[in-house]
């Protein structure tokens, strides 16, 4: 059965209308763009609504590759910090490299990344003592859909959301092109989720928590909508990473600096913003998980990647106390 959307203000089930959802109690309305409902509190960049209206007009007129190129050409969208980092890296490629990237989009952006993310999910679920239900699951911070696309082969019903609605529409277009029909896409903030309590058997959120403004609120929302006996799996970039360069800006040990200085250094050296990244230390993450999940959580110090490397080999033999505080990533398993 589909999960009914709830009003963000009063938690009442929403009524579906042509082009929007409406709360019968408080009359709040939530627009739909290209079949994707928008539950975000506002625009995440100036002119976002105009971009979404334009993408909706082009959605059925273009092939996936044409639509991807069209969406990525939007200057308003490319003002976002994460889009700026991605776009600047892409602009360094030659014309032939760009074409090859587009041709290999499915393999590199979706399948390869999705396989790695599902691998992390499966490793974390091995630490779960209860039975794993393969029914309803939610992917928070789905981006362009890699985890959800891979999970569609395993789980019966998947909901996938992100704050960046253009990316969600791109993911929906990709799934339509590939004939994947058991994923429901929406745009929402992780700190205000439009779902009833106890809705999901599995919630995944990878490479997301460091991008969230109100991290504790997001964890509270995840715990609220997780079904009893269900599992939350995710990760969080470690602020005090001593193992690898910071993955968003490729600089080492930057988490040991004051955050304002780290941002200025990133702008000076990499030309990338860094003030949108909020990595947590082991102590900060532990405190938040304790407030939201009580004792029903674990932080796993190490998960081996599908891509073997010298770094992975070294980490295997490092003491857990070092990994707990200084590994590149905290891996999280929570239950209810």
- Summarize pLDDT for 124-144 with one digit per residue, the tens: 999 998 888 888 999 999 999
Span 199-204, average pLDDT: 97
d(CA 204, CA 48): 26
Span 195-222, average pLDDT: 96
The token pair at 127 is 């630490």
d(CA 85, CA 263): 13
C-alpha distances out from residue 18 to 15, 32, 91, 310, 335, Å: 10, 9, 40, 55, 37
- Which CATH fold topology does 15-241+279-335 show? Rossmann fold (3.40.50)
Residue 189 has a pLDDT of 97
d(CA 277, CA 270): 15
Q: What does the mean pLDDT of the chain come to? A: 93
Task: Please name the residues in contact with 39: beta carbons below 8 A apart, sequence gap of 6 or more.
Answer: 5, 8, 30, 186, 187, 188, 189, 192, 194
Q: Of all residues in the chain, what percent carry a pLDDT higher than 90?
A: 81
- Summarize pLDDT for 235-260 with one digit per residue, the tens: 999 999 999 999 999 999 999 999 99
User: By mean pLDDT, which of 12-16, 149-153, 308-312 is the weakest?
Assistant: 308-312
| Nearest in space to 288 (alpha carbons), one of 193, 228, 221, 195 | 221
C-alpha distances out from residue 286 to 213, 224, 281, 325, 333, Å: 17, 18, 8, 11, 12
Residue 155 has a pLDDT of 93
* CA angle 328–115–241, rounded 5-degree value: 5
C-alpha distances out from residue 194 to 58, 157, 169, Å: 27, 17, 18
pTM of the model: 0.94
d(CA 75, CA 233): 34
């Amino acid at each position: 059965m589909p999960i009914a959307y709830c009003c963000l203000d009063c938690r009442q089930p929403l009524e579906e209308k042509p082009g929007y959802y409406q709360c019968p109690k408080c009359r709040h309305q939530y627009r739909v763009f290209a079949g994707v409902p928008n539950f975000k509190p506002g625009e995440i960049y100036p002119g976002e609504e105009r971009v979404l209206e334009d993408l909706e007009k082009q959605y059925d007129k273009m092939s996936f590759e044409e639509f991807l190129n069209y969406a990525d050409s939007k200057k308003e969208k490319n003002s976002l910090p994460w889009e700026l980092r991605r776009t600047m890296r892409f602009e360094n490629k030659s014309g032939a490299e760009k074409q090859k990237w587009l041709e290999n989009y499915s393999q590199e952006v979706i399948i390869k990344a999705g396989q790695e993310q599902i691998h992390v999910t499966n490793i974390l679920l091995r630490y779960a003592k209860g039975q794993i239900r393969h029914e309803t699951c939610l992917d928070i911070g789905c981006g362009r859909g890699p985890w959800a696309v891979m999970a569609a082969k395993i789980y019966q019903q998947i909901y996938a959301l992100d704050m960046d609605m253009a990316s969600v529409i791109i993911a929906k277009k990709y799934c339509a092109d590939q004939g994947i029909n058991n994923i429901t896409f929406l745009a929402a903030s992780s700190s205000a989720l439009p779902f009833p309590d106890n809705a999901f058997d599995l919630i995944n959120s990878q490479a997301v928590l460091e991008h969230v403004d109100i991290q504790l609120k997001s964890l509270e929302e995840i715990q609220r909508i997780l079904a009893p006996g269900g599992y939350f799996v995710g990760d969080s970039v470690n602020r005090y990473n001593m193992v690898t360069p910071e993955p968003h800006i490729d600089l080492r040990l930057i988490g040991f600096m004051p955050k304002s200085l780290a941002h200025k250094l990133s702008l000076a050296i990499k030309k990338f913003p860094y003030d949108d990244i909020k990595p947590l230390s082991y102590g900060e993450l532990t405190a938040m998980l304790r407030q939201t999940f009580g004792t029903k959580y674990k932080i796993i110090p190490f998960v081996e990647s599908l891509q073997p490397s010298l770094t992975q080999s070294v980490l295997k033999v490092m003491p857990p106390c070092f990994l707990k505080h200084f590994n590149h990533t905290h891996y999280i398993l929570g239950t209810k």
